[in-house]
Amino acid sequence: MVSDQTTNPRPDEQRIVLTGVGLTAPNGNNLQEYRANLLSAVSGVQDYSIRYVGETHAGICDFDAQLYQSAREIRRGTRAGSIAIYCANQAVADSGHELDQLDRSRIGIYLGITEHGNVETENEIHELSGYDYDVAFWSHFHNPRTVANSPAGEVALSLGIVGPHYTIGAACAAGNAGIIQGAQMLLLGECDLALAGGVSESIHTFGIFASFKSQGALASHDDPTQASRPFDIDRNGIVVSEGGCIYVMERLSSARQRNATIYGELVGHAINTDASDFVLPNPERQQECIELALKRAGLTPSEMGVVSTHATGTTSGDIQECLALRRAFAGAEEVYFNNAKSLIGHAMGAAGALEIAGNLLTFSDGMCHPTINIDQLDPECEIAGLVVNEARQIGQIDYLLNNSFGMLGINSAVIIGRV
């Protein structure tokens, strides 16, 4: 997986690489399992019932939280915290670092999240209703559970990290934003190791389901594994999922010094804003975001190998993104496009980080995982190079790009390169 990239003009101290991956997704609890299920078109979406909304579908993770937490710690903390603690511990183990040999004041934690605190607040109000809303029975854990720096703070407590920690609220662009923040802090010298990515506990709040349902944007299908169907003519909305993906990020000089496995390098990124609507995407701003990331990476569209699309399965959102993609990659005939949400649903704040992970091993095996559930492609979503329903051998690639967009018009693009 590791090769010498002698043409990169930047010194190793200014190149930021991924050396550890920890994740839980609805169809896998580590990178290898997740990747195998993506390639085999194994969906992680299942039937789900939630208070007040009733029967729906969701992507549900099945990791062992007690690997790194006691039952008491799980009760006291949050679901997002448990996801983050699991992913962070797995990422550190995967990186080969021994925390006891590191200066923990030089480790930073930067986690993207869509929303936080809704799960705990909804559950506590529901429990309080059984006591006629007598606040004497209100949980004294409420405040630490709902502050904005959780779940990053829960990871710090779990691992004994005393460097900076915080979360980045960036809607469904948050996974990308966490990675970008980690790289920036490394480049600024604020830390020597970053735990960065995104997490989501969204399926445990009824509000998100109820809101999407009221918009007519909550997916439904007789077969839950076919409910998430971006680009298909019969798509009818979003499948809400939970999950997390955290990377160990460090300078290339550090990684080479310890002969680490290097999954890839962050070579370009961009974040911009539509400033045009609360929820309706703006394809011009999305196109500009992609093009800015390419410009910062010093790459042309034709040099990209795989583009991981954001597409969530909503009628308008998929069409708007495809318009942006056709413009940004016009004439780039050897670029492949795929979509992980068709297999795991929309993991909100974790989506971008998980989608990058889903394509990372293409650098070593040359396989592109598919977008599933496309029985009839919407003509307005046609993109040359879209990998449909079955994985495809595409050979060696040098770069992959992930799109992640979110409400209030936030757009992000991250480019990872082979090292």
pLDDT tens-digit profile of 187-212?
Answer: 999 999 999 999 999 999 999 999 99
**Claim to verify: residue 198 and residue 235 sit in the same structural domain:** yes
DSSP structure class, residue 200:
E
Please give the pLDDT value at position 348: 98
Band of pLDDT at residue 2, cut at 50, 70 and 90: very low
> 226 with 303, same domain?
no
Residues 275 and 253 in one domain: no
Q: Write the pLDDT tens digit of every residue in 215-260.
A: 999 999 999 999 999 999 999 999 999 999 999 999 999 999 999 9
- Identify whether residues 292 and 253 lie together within a single domain: no
pLDDT exceeds cutoff 50 at 376: yes
Q: For the residues 98-126, what does the mean pLDDT come to? A: 95
Beta-bridge partners for 28: 25
- Please identify, among 236, 257, 278, the residue that sits at the C-terminal boundary of a domain: 257
Judgement on whether residues 283 and 350 belong to the same structural domain of the protein: yes
Range of 226's domain? 17-257
Same domain, 247 and 355: no
What is d(CA 66, CA 73) in angstroms, rounded to the nearest whole number? 9
The answer to whether residue 1 scores a pLDDT higher than 70 is no
Q: What is the pLDDT, as a whole number, of residue 5?
A: 43
The Cβ of residue 303 has, within 10 Å, a number of other Cβ atoms equal to: 17
Does 98 fall in a domain?
A: yes
User: Which pLDDT band, with edges at 50, 70 and 90, does 7 fall under?
Assistant: low
pLDDT for 145 equals 94
Q: What is the largest CA-CA distance in the chain?
A: 68
- The arrangement of strands across the sheet holding 54-59 comes to 45-50, 54-59, 240-241
Query: By the 8 A CB rule, do 133 and 124 touch?
Result: no
Q: Which of 195, 225, 257 is the last residue of a domain?
A: 257
pLDDT-derived band of residue 177, with 50, 70 and 90 as boundaries?
Answer: very high
Instruction: Give the model confidence (pLDDT) of 139-176 as tens digits.
Output: 999 999 999 999 999 999 999 999 999 999 999 999 99
pLDDT of residue 4: 42
> Final residue of a domain: which of 212, 232, 257?
257
Averaged pLDDT of the chain? 96
**Do 241 and 291 sit in the same domain of this protein?**
no
Shared domain check, 253 and 110: yes
Q: In whole angstroms, how far apart are CA 195 and each of 111, 155, 168, 419?
A: 8, 9, 13, 20
CA-CA distance, 276 to 266, in Å (whole number)? 29
- Token pair belonging to 314: 């909503």
Residue 6 predicted with pLDDT over 60: no
| Catalytic residue list contains 346 | yes
In a domain, 9, yes or no: no
Comparing C-alpha atoms, which of 324, 320, 275, 279 is closest to residue 301? 324
Structure tokens at 319: 């069409």
Which of 325, 396, 392, 409 shows the shortest CA–CA distance to 363? 396
Q: What is the pLDDT of residue 9?
A: 82
Domain count, the chain: 2
Which CATH number characterizes residue 318's domain? 3.40.47.10
From 57, 61, 165, 172, the catalytic residue = 172
CA 181 to each of CA 17, 388, 389: distance values in angstroms, whole numbers, following the listed order: 13, 33, 34
Q: Are residues 304 and 368 located together in one domain of the fold?
A: yes
- Statement: residue 3 has pLDDT above 60: no
Distance CA 303, CA 332 (A): 8
Q: What is the phi/psi pair of residue 111, to 5°?
A: -115, 125
Q: Which pLDDT tens digit goes with each residue over 289-321?
A: 999 999 999 999 999 999 999 999 999 999 999
Rounded Cα distance, 65 and 67, in Å: 5
Catalytic residue among 97, 269, 310, 369: 310
Whether 1 is in a domain gets the answer no
Residue 8, pLDDT score: 72
In a domain, 263, yes or no: no
Provide the pLDDT for residue 108. 98
Task: Please tell me which residue in 322, 346, 368, 369 is annotated as part of the active site.
Answer: 346
Residue 45 covered by a domain: yes
The phi, psi pair for 308, rounded to 5°, reads -90, 115
Task: Please tell me whether residues 221 and 282 are part of one structural domain.
Answer: no
Which class for 121: exposed (0-12), middle (13-18), buried (19 or more C-beta within 10 A)? middle
In a domain, 6, yes or no: no
Residue 172 annotated as catalytic: yes
* In a shared domain, residues 251 and 102: yes
Q: Has residue 10 been placed in a domain?
A: no
- Considering the domain architecture, whether residues 389 and 302 belong to the same structural domain is answered as yes
Examine residue 155 and state whether it is found in any structural domain, yes or no.
Answer: yes
How far apart CA 121 and CA 193 sit, in angstroms, is 33
Confidence of residue 263 (pLDDT cuts 50, 70, 90): very high
